Structure 1
Amino acid sequence: MAHLAVLTGAWLVLATQSALAAQKEAPLSMRCAEFAGAVLPPELIALPTAGAQIESASMVGATAPGNQQGGEYCRITGRVKALKPTTPDIRFDLNLPRHWNGRALQVGGGGYNGVVVSGTGVMPFSPDRAPLAQGYATFGDDSGHVGDSSLAVFGLVDEAVTNFGYAHLKKTHDAALALIARAYGRPPQRMYFAGGSTGGREGYTVMQRFPDDYDGVIANSPALNFSGVRLIGVKVGQAEYATPGGFIPPLLLERVYQRTLAVCDRLDGAADGIVSDVAACRAHETEIVDSLRCAGSALSRDECLTDAQLATLMVLRDGLSLPYRLAWDVSGYHGYNVFQGTHLNGSLGLGHQAQRLAVPKFFANGYLFAQGDGYLRYFVARDADFDSLRFDPQHPGKYRAQLVALSQTIGAMNPDLARYMARGGKLITLQGLADEVISPNQTIAYREALVDRYGVDEVDRFMRLYMVPGFQHGSGAFVPSVDLLGALDRWVTRGASPETLIATDIAAATNGRSRPLCRYPLFPRYVGKGNVNLASSFVCAEP
């Protein structure tokens, strides 16, 4: 077979009978190396690019070191070329299994991305068998810049910001689709997307912007209102580091968490270290706060919280309200379940040291503040020396237009999913009720906006939302493992809509126990008898 110097648009449609026959005669192991050095012209990619270049292509043997997928596959690496020489390319990986199931899965990134998503591993919070091992062609990218997920410096480059916001998803999708069609002689029968956090935002982005490209999406803990979550991070940092006495030592954050458990753990009928009935717990919030307050208390200051420290927590609880509108009429960011079982003393919680670093770091100064600070420096002010502690999100002045523009590019808050729904696209979102990074109430609010727009019956035809008690942003008192990809595929291909799912806890301390994952707004309530570590001892109840 001739070397694939250039792939043309003909490979985006079904191949001729002779071409199909040629594909069947030549095994993937022979065709794989031919992709190395291939060029994809710009017309194969719907958004403006300078085309794509394949850098390497080689078979990975079933017994090759590091291959835990249980099968042979062709690994292709490449880059989608940027329009401007000062803009980084979009680096991507594509994995083509020898035994293909006819489906493709695009995998999202995390944080500010910057690292190529290989697509070879097990999906987060899913059973051990990776999609590639199940026969999926998988692919992912770095969103168009290089660096770890905490770096926001690329915000200085317009084309890189657009790529990060949405364009990398389409550009990588189109390049991968052309290569998959060329490798197998036909395009995928089903195209799925899966991701969490930033990858969750990306999942909502592809439904909103590219609804014709995907049959199903898994979008967990989605960073939907990206500008909003970054601005509330700045407000929290200001409460901790620009307000006298606002910093809360880790021991006091632990006390807050333990107090919420003491009051709310048993409200679901089981003493299991999980606050499941968040609504009932919220009714006890005043009691919890009063018991933590130093005023009128005989407790020493290392056992109670001052008014300034409680005010810091209230910034998180109350969320952010803006006197102006971001894109899609967004006017703020919803608050967190601070007093309903959210642990703020972990690696993604609030700050662990009382002094603010010149460039805030996740553990030292808190994840939300560090990420928000970087967003203001590089995306909004575009000034590496900008002081986020002196910025007023409610009155951004000359930066307001940039904030609004960024919320349009990155925000993923457009409630218009009519095209995706009409095509029969499906969505599964799993979100922790104790998430300390992405407010669970923001995720709920987006679903409620869909219900207001389309009605609950229409939303239920295409969406499943599972709010998970005790689950934080990748950790928590309960960390669910559940086969969401299998549930999505059965829904798309067989019409078997998922209802209650059973999740196994993979948290180190409680590994192996199970709980039902209840469709929102239901939550798991203990029936009063039976093994508390078994899902069968719980029912999905109304709050």
Structure 2
Amino acid sequence: MTARVRNACAVGALVWTSLAMGRGTPGSGGEKAPVPPLRLPPTVPMRCTELAGLALPASEIGLPTRGAQIDSAAMIAIAAPGNVDGEYCRVVGSIKPLKASAPDIRFELNLPRRWNGRALQFGGGGYSGVVVSGTGTVPFSPDQPPLARGYATFGDDSGHVGNPGLAAFGLVDEAVINFGYAHLKKTHDVALALIARSYGRLPEKMYFAGGSTGGREGYTVIQRFPDDYDGVIANSPALNFSGVRLLGVQVGQAEYRNPGGFIPPALLDLMYRRTLAACDALDGAADGIVSNVAACRALEPQLIQSLRCAPQAQAEDDNCLTDAQLKTLLVLRDGLQLPYPLAWGISRYRGYNVFQGTHFTGMLGLAHSAERLPEPGFFSNGYLYAQGDAYIRYFVTRDDTASSMQFDVQHPGRYLPRLVDLSGTIGAMNPDMSRFIAHGGKLITLQGLADEVISPNQTIAYYRALIARYGDAQVDSFMRLYMVPGFQHGNGVFIPSVDMLGALDDWVTHGLAPQTLVAVDLARATNGRSRPLCRYPAFPRYTGHGNLDRAENFRCVEP
């Protein structure tokens, strides 16, 4: 089975890709269920080319701007090269900032000839800086792109150009506010104004979908603009944006400031293999996936001890980890604990499942080089640290010569007010979702238990905070959380494909709340196998009978 990259949303060095699939290849152990024929909505009257050159006044946008300008509007034919979305009108424009020194918010809007009366806003990735086109599939969903299904789709660049990961736009106040939350409302309002001008009416349903930064944006629109959205898909959400950046700084300091703290990729692989040997079969299936994370965590002390070098071992021993190297891993595992509160009283960032099947050697993993580069790179110096370093220099100190190696995360001194302000501007840790719940909004979140970029335990902690605030019954009435074993940040030994948009629309439109779903694996080595997608805290356990590559031979059980 082949995975085709359709619509990429950058997430730092790697991309959260929108993957679509064909049929299973021999030996894959399973095949994706046939995609039902696409039921197209009827053709509707619409305006397209007349939108070109239109100037929208600032009064039509709910947050302060100098209005919006439509640069082009053109019909895209079904037969256009590379078009998988049917016939649609492509609208390109920009939203003007209050200050001329700030960048525009560039956006694209797609208006299908066959409109189903719904609209879908796409989120960005990493530090954004690239216009999200809104074409192609929702990340990790099957074929049948939303635009082809009749959704009006749109996205933007979050209010700056370029996504090198260095976040230089952090020097511009209006650009930071746009990136944090304002671009979402501004683009939403412009898109709805254009939809109304094209079709003569507003959408019946308004949805949002995104992952990583886009996942944070999904929670942001619920918290800040709850009346604007009927449903949200928010995957692997970077909710505690400041927390993950500050933890990244501490990881980098453990790797490069503490003598011997760097861990060569070969030793990270050793740790991963030892984890699989101890924990793979705890779910009843030796399938390369650590599904029973709770049982694996109980084995963590023994696993760490088995990895620890004997006192007489050499520092370059490739069969064990020194105390300094283990300390680096424990920084990751333990997460961030601050002696001061950030926005919404948050002082923690939960750690990662370091010893429960997370692989840290990929493009978004830990450092591959023992030398810290003057400009830390994702691959050479580790994704978490490189992003944290840029955050300190551009967002916090606003001094690109500042040293993140010397920045005291625990005692930031004169930078404390800036850290608190940033955590409120960009973060999405506000637990108040009452207005979204009150008007019947629905939320679906999917994340990997082996995510190496956004800690799965931070997402779980936020979910538990909602339970504590609203109770199980009310949270069940509006939210679904699916934690996926083996899934990392867009990669992993199990990469799920599931129609979350269909599930969300059925829930919002017909009241059909999703329960256990079936996900098909996109990973190259195991493409086509399937597993139940279990509602948290359940995980898929093998029944002991039947093909390991078929979901029907697993049951969702709680730890």
Q: Choose the corresponding residue for 2:255, options 220, 240, 250.
A: 240
Shifted more, 221-230 versus 293-302: the winner is 293-302
Match of residue 37 from structure 2: none
Whole-angstrom CA distance in 1 between matches of 2:420 and 2:119? 34
Q: Which residue of 2 aligns with 1:52?
A: 68
Quote the residue 1:492 is aligned against.
Answer: 508
Report how far residue 82 of structure 1 moved. 0.3
Match of 1:529 among 524, 539, 545: 545
Q: Could you report, residue by residue, the CA deviation over 1:230-266 in whole angstroms, capped at 9, with x for unpaired residues?
A: 0000000000011100000000000011110000000
How is 1:77-476 mapped onto 2 (pairs within 5 angstroms)? Answer: 77-148=92-163, 150-295=165-310, 301-476=317-492
Matched letter for residue 481 of structure 2:
L
SS in 1 for 2:540: strand
Shift of residue 151 of structure 1?
3.0
* SS of alignment partner, residue 379 of structure 1: helix
Amino acid at match of 1:114: G
Q: Please give the secondary structure, in 2, of the residue aligned with 1:192.
A: strand
Counterparts of 1:478 and 1:463 in 2: how far apart (Å)?
23
8 Å CA contact retained: 1:115, 1:149: no
The whole-number CA distance in structure 2 between the counterparts of 1:282 and 1:291 is 15
2:81 maps to which of 57, 65, 69: 65
Question: Structure 1 residues 156 and 298 mapped into 2: Cα distance closer, same or farther (>3 Å)?
Answer: closer
CA–CA separation in structure 2 for the residues paired with 1:482 and 1:388: 40
> Is the Cα contact below 8 Å between 1:113 and 1:149 reproduced in 2?
no
The two structures, once aligned, show a CA RMSD in angstroms of 1.2
The 3 A distance-change label for structure 1 pair 26 and 438 is: closer
Deviations 1:197-239 (A, max 9, x none): 0000000000000000000000000000000000000000000
| Cα distance between partner residues in 2 of 1:42 and 1:170 | 13
Taking a change above 3 Å as real, the CA distance of residues 308 and 134 of structure 1, as seen in their structure-2 partners, is same
Kept in 1: contact 2:44–2:114 (CA 8 A): no
DSSP 3-state at the match of 1:134: coil
Alpha-carbon distance, 1:27 to partner: 4.2
Q: 1:1-80, aligned counterparts within 5 Å?
A: 27-28=45-46, 31-69=47-85, 71-80=86-95
Asked if 2 retains the 8 angstrom alpha-carbon contact of 1:193 and 1:218, the reply is yes
Shift of 1:149: 5.2
**Could you say what secondary structure the match of 1:342 adopts?**
coil
In 1, Cα distance between equivalents of 2:475 and 2:336: 27
The gaps in structure 1 that reach 5 residues or longer are: 1-23
The runs of at least 4 aligned residues of structure 1 exceeding 6 Å deviation read 297-300
**Match for residue 27 of structure 2?**
none
Which residue of structure 1 aligns with residue 17 of structure 2? none
1:472-504 CA distance string (max 9 Å, x none): 000001000000000000000000000000000
Greater share of residues in helix? 1
User: TM-score w.r.t. structure 1 length?
Assistant: 0.94
Supply the distance in 1 between the matched residues of 2:126 and 2:164 (Cα, whole angstroms).
5
Please give the alpha-carbon distance, in whole angstroms, between the structure 1 residues aligned to 2:473 and 2:391.
Answer: 38
Once residues 43 and 507 of structure 2 are traced to their aligned partners in structure 1, the CA distance between those partners, rounded to angstroms, is 34
Number of aligned residue pairs:
517
- The one of 521, 525, 545 aligned to 1:509: 525
- Superposed, 1:474-485 pairs within 5 Å as 474-485=490-501
1:201–1:219 CA contact under 8 A, matched in 2: yes
Structure 2 unaligned spans of 5+: 1-41
8 A Cα contact 2:212 2:235, kept in partner: yes
Q: Which structure's relative contact order is higher, taking Cα pairs within 8 Å and 6+ residues apart?
A: 2
Deviations 1:103-153 (A, max 9, x none): 000000000000000001111110021100100000000000000251300
Contact 2:335 2:350 in 1 (8 A): yes
Q: What amino acid does structure 2 have at the position aligned with 1:135?
A: G
Q: Structure 1 25/152 Cα, relative in aligned 2: closer, same or farther at 3 Å?
A: closer
Cα distance in 2 for residues equivalent to 1:519 and 1:265:
20
Deviation at 1:522, TM superposition (A): 0.3
- Report percent identity of matched pairs: 72
Offset of residue 271 of structure 1: 0.2
Provide the rounded CA distance (Å) in 1 between the counterparts of 2:311 and 2:278.
20
Q: How far is the alpha carbon of 1:304 from its aligned partner?
A: 0.7
Q: Is the 8 A contact 2:45 2:199 kept in 1?
A: no
Q: Distance in 1 between matches of 2:449 and 2:234?
A: 15
- Whether the aligned pair in 1 keeps the contact of 2:43 and 2:115 (CA below 8 Å) is no
Would the alpha carbon gap of residues 46 and 292 (structure 1) be closer, same or farther in structure 2, given more than 3 Å must change? same
Change (3 A) 1:41 1:265: same
Amino acid at match of 2:133: S
Structure 1 residue 513 displacement after superposition: 0.2
Return the letter of the residue paired with 1:478. Answer: F
How much does 1:303 deviate? Answer: 1.2
Q: Secondary structure at the match of 1:132?
A: coil
| Superposition deviation, residue 297 in structure 1 | 7.7
Give 2:475's aligned amino acid: V
Distance in 2 (CA, whole Å) between partners of 1:149 and 1:128 is: 30
- State the shift of 1:165 in Å: 0.2
Residues 110, 149 of structure 1: 8 Å contact kept = no
Q: Match of 1:12?
A: none
Which letter maps to 2:57? P
Whether the 8 Å contact between 2:43 and 2:114 is mirrored in structure 1 is: no
Distance 1:535 1:150 in 2: 38
3-state secondary structure, aligned to 2:405? helix
Secondary structure of 2:187's partner? helix
